[in-house]
Amino acid sequence: MNTIIYELQDARLLADQGTLSPAALRISYPAIIVPTEAIILRTASAVYQVEKGQFISFRHAEENMSIETAENTEFAPVYVVSYHSYQLTEKTPDSLLYYKREEHLPKQGSVMEFPRPARGLLESLLEQLQQASWVQIAARLNLKLDELLRSIFVSKHYGVSYITQEPSILQALTYINQHFDAAVTRSFMARLTGFNPSYFSSLFRRETGWSFAEYLNRIRIDEAK
C-alpha cells in the first residue's frame, strides 16, 4: 500500500505560439511546469530559468508569477500538471485515512531534469484527457499521474528524501543510487538494513510504491540514457 498518493487537478497546454510573452500564471498548486524550449519564470521574489528538457516544481503560488520566452521569440508549447498529494496517516481493518501533505515534494521553485520516459507519460496523460470525460477515466488518470510524478521524483538525481522519511529505506535508496551499476540484490539490501528479505521487500514497496527490482531497473534505465 502506497503511503503517498496523487490526485490530478489539471493537465493542459499552458502557453504556445499564440500566447503573448510575458504571460501571467493562473494555475492550481502543487504543480509542475514543463516547457519544450527554454523559458524564464518570474515571481515577486525570484527569477528562474527552465531549459528544454527540464521542469520546475511549485508547492504553492507566489505573487506576480509569470512566464516569458528565454529568447525574443514565440512560445514553444509549455505544459502544466496540477495535483493534490496525500499521505496515509491511519490504517484500520475497515479504512485508510489520508491527509494532504506536501513536505515530501521538491522544494519551492526546484528546477530539475525531465527524464525522457516522463515525456511519453505526459503525452499519454494529455491524450487520455482529450479522449474521454474526466469523470469516466478519473481512476486511470490518477494512475498515469502517479506514474509520471514518481518517474520524475524517484530518481537518483533529486535526492531520496522526496520519496520516504523511513530511515532504513532512505539508507537503502541512497545505497542503490550510489551503487546501481554493481550487483545489488534484495538479500544484500535486506542484510544492510537489518531485515529479512521478505519484510524488506514489503517495507520498500509500502514506502516507495515500487518493488525493489522495479526501482533498481528504473535507476539503471535512467542512467543509461
76-113 pLDDT tens trace: 999 999 999 988 777 777 777 888 888 778 889 989 88
What amino acid occupies position 96? Answer: L
Residue 130 and residue 199 in one domain: no
122-169 pLDDT tens trace: 999 999 988 877 777 888 898 889 889 887 876 544 455 555 667 788
What CATH number does residue 51 fall under?
Answer: 2.60.120.280
Domain residue limits at 144: 4-153
**Tally of domains within the chain:** 2
Local confidence band at 46 (pLDDT 50, 70, 90 cut-offs) = very high
Residue 174 and residue 203 in one domain: yes
- Determine the pLDDT at residue 54: 93
What CATH number does residue 178 fall under?
Answer: 1.10.10.60
Output the average pLDDT for the chain. 85
50-84 pLDDT tens trace: 999 999 999 999 999 999 998 878 999 999 999 99
211 φ, ψ (degrees, to nearest 5): -75, 160
Residue 145 and residue 175 in one domain: no
Residue 126 and residue 164 in one domain: no
How far apart are alpha carbons 170 and 52 in whole angstroms? 30
CB-CB neighbours of 199 under 10 Å: 12
- Determine the pLDDT at residue 223: 66
Mean pLDDT calculated for residue range 181-193: 90
Residue 17 and residue 39 in one domain: yes
- Determine the pLDDT at residue 156: 45
Angle between helical axes of 138-153 and 116-131 (0-180°, round to 10): 170
Q: Return the bridge partners of 99, or none.
A: 87
Share of the chain above pLDDT 70, in %: 92
Mean pLDDT calculated for residue range 194-201: 93
Residue 31 has pLDDT above 80, yes or no: yes
For the chain, the residue count is 225
110-120 pLDDT tens trace: 898 888 878 98
